[in-house]
Every structure is written in structure tokens, then in C-alpha cells.
Amino acid sequence: MNPLAVGNSQSRQQLRLNWPDGREQLLDHAELRRQCPCSQCRAFRLQGLTVKVDSRIRLVELNSQGYGLQLIFSDGHQRGIYPWAYLSALPSILASSTTRKNTSPQTKSHVT
């Protein structure tokens, strides 16, 4: 399922996805960076390591890849392609996401 609309707010540090089922999903830039699905970042998480991310990190570019988005971050990281299904599932994983039915997002951050 592809979103109907994608937005990126630098001031709020959030990626917004509007899904066909009516959900509006807000995902924190820093949490998206921590949850990067590239092989290197996944290997860190599988080893129980935390990817250290500056809370001021920003998404500086979004590139549509058909089945998802390549997210390019202000720290230069651009290896991960975030499939639409992965992004859609993130509300159950990330405390910083929200839907229209929920209240404001909570943010987890680790500053390096």
C-alpha cells in the first residue's frame, strides 16, 4: 500500500505520510535514522547496539523508489531504502509516531 501524500517538515523534524485507510502518520527524523533498514544499521541492532543519532538530525532529501523511499539525512547517511510496508508498520514500533486517533507524539532521543 502506497501513501496518498508524503510531506517532510524541517521545523517539526517529522516525515508525514497520509495512507489510503485515513491514517496520518508522523515519524520523527531522528527515530527514522535510528530505525534505518540498511544492512549496516540492522546489523548493529541485531547485535544489541544502539545507533547513536544527534537529536538535531534532519531529513534533507526524499527519493521515491517505487516500493518505498530513500531517505537522505543531514549526517550524510543515505544507504537505507524504507519500503512503504516498513514505514506503515513503524507506528507499532516507534513511540514518536502518531495517528489521527492518538495524541501528540512522544520522542525518544540519544544525543551523541
Q: Which letter does DSSP use for residue 21 in this model? A: T
Domain boundaries, the chain: 5-92
pLDDT at 5 over 80: yes
Residues 6+ apart with CB under 8 A from 74: 56, 57, 58, 59, 60
Once rounded to an integer, what is the mean pLDDT over residues 42-70?
94
Model-level pTM?
Answer: 0.78
Confidence of residue 25 (pLDDT cuts 50, 70, 90): very high
User: Each residue of 59-93: pLDDT tens digit?
Assistant: 999 999 999 999 999 999 999 899 999 999 997 55
Tell me the fold of 5-92: NE0471 N-terminal domain-like (3.30.2020)
Using left for φ > 0, alpha for ψ between -120 and 50, and beta otherwise, residue 13 falls in left
